């Protein structure tokens, strides 16, 4: 067991420690992104539940709770509210650049003063832009009913200030504090109402709003993918470590085979005893130059060391050679 573990000692080298730290950091980033995607999914689920529970619910009576538009609560989003009062038509505004079914247009905002004295901005619907001049609606803006009216509208939170300007009588977004400043009215500035019905009804009305779609989105699958990536970082690290061990084992096996093959051409003292030219064999051995350094040292047999003093046999051979030359 310990012998098997010893082959992984390279994991404690600087390169592999740095690789593990990278895997940890990468996995933590993936887990954070997975949690962020899951949070987005929960937001969509909550939005869908509000649409399901509130959109077609029995309307609240504004007389029972006059803070619905001045103190907005997310739980009241899309819930209908019934109010009694009259429109302040002289303060009508158009919200520009509002798309609907692929067309550009406007939404019609008219402040509504309730019998309790609150001023609520009512979005009465959508109008298409003029084909020749997109800065204005096509035709006249339908007027709201005159006199005292019972209005039912769905609660919707106000929008952010885009910072963009608009021509007189128009706004770039339903930013309620901006509308209050433009009209000079003390409007409830946390939420506005999307018109559902008017009693008595106007002869002509803008295009009514449609029920929002229930959208679950891809966030759940994205979250799962990020968790898989987080786990994959450690799987990849373990796979690379295992591959290195396997490669080292294969290198050692090949080195042993090459060592056994080339050793047959040299004797115990390193003298060449092969039949072909040694230079040919040496060129063959150079083919392992692209192998790991530890393998090169193994597969290339060491040549015999030169001795500083000749042996007795060498002295005797030299003496006999000299006698033959003299004779």
Q: What is the pLDDT of residues 272-324, one digit of tens each?
A: 787 777 777 777 777 665 666 555 555 554 544 545 556 666 666 665 565 55
- Alpha-carbon distance of 301 to 53, in angstroms, equals 85
Q: What is the pLDDT of residue 295?
A: 55
What's phi and psi for 95, nearest 5 deg? -95, 120
Model confidence pLDDT, tens digit, residues 211-220 = 998 888 899 9
Does residue 170 have a pLDDT over 60? yes
In the chain the first and final C-alpha atoms are separated, in Å, by 74
Q: Where is mean pLDDT largest: 68-82, 157-171, 209-223, 297-311?
A: 68-82
Cα separation, 12 vs 21, in Å, equals: 12
Q: Is 195 helix (H, G, I), strand (E, B) or coil?
A: strand
Query: Dihedral sign, CA of 306, 307, 310, 314?
Result: negative
pLDDT of residue 303: 46
pLDDT of residue 185: 95
Average confidence (pLDDT) over 197-203? 93
Only one residue has tokens 């730290």, namely 21
Going by DSSP bridges, is the β-strand pair 93-95/149-157 parallel, antiparallel, or unpaired?
A: unpaired
In angstroms, the CA 94 to CA 104 distance is 13
CB 120 within 8 A of CB 150: no
Q: Which residues pair with 150 in a beta bridge?
A: 84, 199
Separation CA 295–CA 311 (nearest Å): 34
Spell out the residues 6+ positions from residue 59 whose beta carbon is closer than 8 angstroms to its own.
79, 80, 81, 82, 152, 196
Whole-number pLDDT of residue 175: 96
Q: What is the largest CA-CA distance in the chain?
A: 149
pLDDT of residue 152 exceeding 50: yes
**Residue 194: partners with Cβ closer than 8 Å, 6 or more residues away:** 123, 153, 154, 156, 209
Q: Lowest mean pLDDT: which of 30-34, 111-115, 245-249, 314-318?
A: 314-318
Q: Work out the average pLDDT over 266-273.
A: 79
Q: Give pLDDT, residue 143.
A: 93
Mean local confidence (pLDDT), 4-8? 79
Q: What is the CA radius of gyration of the chain?
A: 44
Lowest mean pLDDT among 19-23, 92-96, 127-131: 127-131
Name the phi and psi angles at 274, rounded to 5: -75, 165
pLDDT at 223 > cutoff 70 = yes
Q: Is 109's pLDDT higher than 90?
A: yes
Neighbours of 79 (CB within 10 A): 21
- Asked if the bond preceding 200 is cis, omega within 30° of 0, the reply is yes
> What is the model's pLDDT at position 316?
61
Tokens representing 204?
């002509």
For residue 83, what pLDDT is reported?
97
Residue 268 has pLDDT above 80, yes or no: no
- Please check the confidence at residue 43 and state whether its pLDDT lies above 70: yes
Mean pLDDT of 125-143: 90
Cα–Cα distance measured from residue 98 to residue 104, given in angstroms and rounded to the nearest whole number: 6
- pLDDT computed for residue 250 by the predictor: 81
> What's the whole-number mean pLDDT along residues 103-112?
96
State what percent of residues in the chain have pLDDT above 70.
Answer: 85
Per the prediction, the chain carries an average pLDDT of: 86
Average pLDDT (129-153) is: 92
Distance of alpha carbon 169 from alpha carbon 206, whole angstroms: 17
Residue 57 backbone dihedrals phi, psi, to 5 degrees:
-75, 165
Which residues are CB-contacts of 144 (< 8 A; sequence separation ≥ 6)? 87, 89, 110, 124, 198, 202
Strands 105-114 and 93-95: antiparallel
């Amino acid at each position: 067991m310990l012998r098997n573990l010893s082959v992984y000692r390279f994991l404690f080298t600087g390169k592999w420690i740095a690789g593990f730290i990278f895997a940890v950091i990468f996995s933590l980033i993936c887990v954070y992104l997975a949690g962020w995607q899951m949070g987005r999914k929960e937001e969509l689920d909550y939005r869908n539940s509000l649409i399901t529970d509130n959109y077609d619910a029995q309307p609240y009576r504004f007389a029972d709770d006059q803070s619905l538009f001045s103190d907005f609560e997310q739980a009241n989003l899309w819930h209908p509210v019934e109010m009694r009062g009259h429109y302040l038509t002289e303060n009508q505004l158009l919200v520009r650049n509002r798309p609907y079914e692929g067309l550009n247009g406007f939404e019609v905002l008219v402040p509504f003063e309730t019998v309790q004295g609150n001023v609520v901005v009512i979005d009465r619907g959508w109008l298409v832009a003029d084909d020749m001049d997109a800065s204005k609606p096509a035709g006249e803006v339908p007027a709201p009913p005159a006199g005292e009216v019972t209005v039912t509208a769905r609660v919707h939170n106000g929008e952010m200030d885009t910072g963009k300007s608009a021509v007189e009588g128009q706004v770039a977004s339903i930013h309620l504090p901006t509308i209050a400043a433009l009209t000079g009215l003390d409007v409830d500035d946390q939420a506005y109402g999307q018109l559902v019905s008017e009693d008595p009804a106007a002869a002509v009305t803008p295009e009514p709003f449609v029920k929002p779609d229930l959208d679950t989105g891809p966030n759940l699958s994205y979250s799962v993918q990020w968790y898989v990536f987080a786990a994959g970082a450690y799987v990849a690290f373990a796979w690379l470590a295992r591959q290195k061990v396997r490669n080292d084992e294969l290198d050692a096996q090949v080195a042993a085979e090459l060592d056994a093959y080339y050793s047959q051409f040299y004797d115990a003292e390193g003298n060449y005893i092969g039949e072909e030219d040694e230079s040919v064999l040496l060129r063959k051995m150079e083919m392992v130059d692209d192998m790991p350094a530890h393998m090169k040292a193994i597969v290339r047999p060491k040549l015999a060391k030169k001795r500083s003093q000749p042996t007795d046999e060498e002295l005797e051979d030299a003496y006999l050679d000299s006698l033959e030359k003299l004779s």
